[in-house]
């Protein structure tokens, strides 16, 4: 009996030590991930000359001046308009990619048709093709349709997202029983009613997770907007940051650059704050069959 108690105490002590080491490692990893944000905020409070001297852990006194210099509208820079443009593009892209990807996954998950496996494999094949490969043909197509210098090419392609479709399909396999949808059909519900009223509430955690990823990806997208957008009023935040960084030597101000980046990440933090509670649910719900 004494040997059993001693073994149990030794096991508990070892488990407690491993747990503390894990917590310590996670804390250090978190601090390491937060270092770039800390540097960003510190540099946003300093002047151009102070930043060129080197990094300082102590905040500067130029935060308000940098904010005013960035926020005020000029002929070359309109931050408010760029923020609005990015919110429109990112919000619509996130909504379209989650809704229509879930709808596509629902169709392939619920229906059994002849080319079902081929359609699934084809979508997976498209997922392996980088967007840069098809960029030239896409630009020519948008120019033919007259969609250059508009938000349409930045929003509509998000409807077809193979990565989001694959995530939704896997989530449905884990949480959506066929019997639930079949019961709705027996009760007289049509397919759109079944999808919008029955399936979407079940898919809410997965859609929230993908909405975060899609919003962040669209918000940070520079490659495609740089090829599509030309006019000042349609510029997005990444284009504005790139223009500010590429300014001539007399107008270049590192303090303004860091401040603009700080302003640019605020909407991302807000979106994550409101939707982050669904991330754990979206990850863990798949482990339990509904």
The CATH number linked to 227 is: 1.10.3720.10
Are residues 99 and 27 located together in one domain of the fold? no
Do residues 103 and 217 share a domain?
A: yes
Number of domains present in the structure of the chain:
2
Choose among 195, 197, 198: nearest CA to 107: 195
Mean pLDDT of the chain: 83
Do 36 and 164 share a domain, yes or no? no
Whether residue 83 is contained in a domain is answered as yes
- Does position 283 have pLDDT exceeding 70, yes or no? no
Q: Do 188 and 79 have their domain in common?
A: yes
Confidence of residue 165 (pLDDT cuts 50, 70, 90): very high
Are residue 80 and residue 20 in the same domain, yes or no? no
In this structure, is residue 261 part of a structural domain?
Answer: yes
What does each C-alpha distance from 60 to 252, 253, 277 come to in angstroms? Answer: 19, 15, 35
* 119 found inside a domain: yes
Per-residue pLDDT at 289: 43
Per the domain annotation, does 62 fall within a domain?
no
Would you call 137 helix, strand, or coil by DSSP? helix
Tell me whether residue 212 is in a domain: yes
Give the percent of the chain with pLDDT over 90: 20
Domain identity same for 14 and 152: no
Same domain, 220 and 89: yes
Mean pLDDT within 75-89: 86
- Compute the C-alpha angle 69/224/274, nearest 5°: 65
pLDDT at position 90: 93
Average pLDDT over residues 220-226: 90
Q: Is residue 99 part of a domain?
A: yes
Task: State what percent of residues in the chain have pLDDT above 70.
Answer: 87
What was the pLDDT predicted at 286?
45
d(CA 172, CA 168): 6
| pLDDT for the residue numbered 92 | 94
pLDDT in tens, 125-160: 888 888 778 888 889 999 999 899 999 999 988 888
For residue 9, being part of any structural domain is answered with yes
Taking the C-alpha atoms of 10, 13, 15 and 21 in order, what is their torsion angle to the nearest 10 degrees? -140
Whether 200 shows a pLDDT value over 60: the answer reads yes
Residue 6 reports pLDDT greater than 80: no
Own/partner pairs, 55-62, CB within 8 angstroms, 24+ separation: 62/255
243-268: per-residue pLDDT in tens? 887 666 566 788 888 899 998 998 88
pLDDT in tens, 107-119: 899 888 888 889 8
Whether residues 132 and 244 fall in one domain = yes
Question: Cβ(215)–Cβ(94) under 8 Å?
Answer: yes
111 assigned to some structural domain: yes
One domain, residues 184 and 95: yes
- Model-level pTM? 0.82
Say if residues 60 and 50 touch (Cβ distance below 8 Å).
yes
**Per-residue pLDDT at 51:** 87
Q: Does residue 102 sit in the same domain as residue 162? A: yes
One domain, residues 78 and 178: yes
Dist. CA 142–CA 149, nearest whole Å: 9
More confident of the two residues 83 and 11: 83
What are the tens digits of pLDDT across the range 169-179? 988 888 888 88
Clarify whether residues 25 and 135 are in a common domain.
no
140: left (phi over 0), alpha (psi -120 to 50) or beta: alpha
Could you tell me the residue range of the domain that residue 39 belongs to?
2-44
Given this model, what pLDDT does residue 16 score? 75
Per-residue pLDDT tens over the stretch 16-25:
778 888 888 9
- Give the pLDDT confidence of 29-72 residue by residue, as tens digits: 988 888 888 988 899 999 888 888 888 888 888 889 888 888 88
């Amino acid at each position: 009996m004494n040997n059993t108690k001693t073994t149990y105490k030794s096991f508990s002590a070892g488990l407690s030590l491993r747990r503390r080491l894990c917590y310590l490692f996670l804390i250090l990893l978190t601090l390491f991930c937060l270092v770039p944000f800390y540097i960003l905020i510190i540099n946003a409070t300093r002047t151009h000359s102070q930043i060129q001297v080197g990094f300082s852990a102590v905040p500067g006194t130029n935060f308000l001046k940098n904010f005013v210099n960035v926020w005020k509208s000029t002929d070359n820079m309109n931050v408010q308009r760029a923020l609005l443009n990015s919110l429109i593009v990112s919000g619509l892209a996130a909504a379209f990619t989650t809704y229509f990807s879930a709808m596509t996954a629902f169709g392939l998950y619920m229906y059994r048709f002849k080319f079902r496996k081929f359609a699934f494999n084809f979508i997976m094949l498209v997922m392996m093709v980088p967007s840069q490969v098809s960029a030239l043909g896409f630009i020519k197509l948008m120019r033919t349709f007259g969609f250059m210098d508009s938000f349409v090419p930045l929003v509509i392609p998000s409807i077809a997202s193979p990565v989001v479709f694959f995530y939704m399909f896997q989530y449905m396999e884990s949480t959506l029983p066929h019997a639930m949808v079949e019961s709705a059909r027996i009760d007289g519900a049509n397919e759109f009613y079944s999808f919008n009223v029955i399936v979407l509430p079940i898919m809410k955690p997965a859609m929230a997770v993908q909405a975060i990823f899609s919003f962040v990806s669209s918000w940070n997208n520079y490659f495609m907007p740089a090829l599509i957008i030309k006019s000042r009023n349609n510029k997005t935040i990444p284009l504005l940051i790139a223009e500010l960084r590429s300014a001539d030597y007399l107008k270049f101000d590192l303090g303004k650059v860091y401040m603009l980046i700080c302003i640019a990440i605020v909407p991302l933090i807000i979106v994550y704050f409101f939707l982050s509670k669904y991330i754990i649910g979206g990850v863990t719900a798949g482990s339990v069959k509904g």
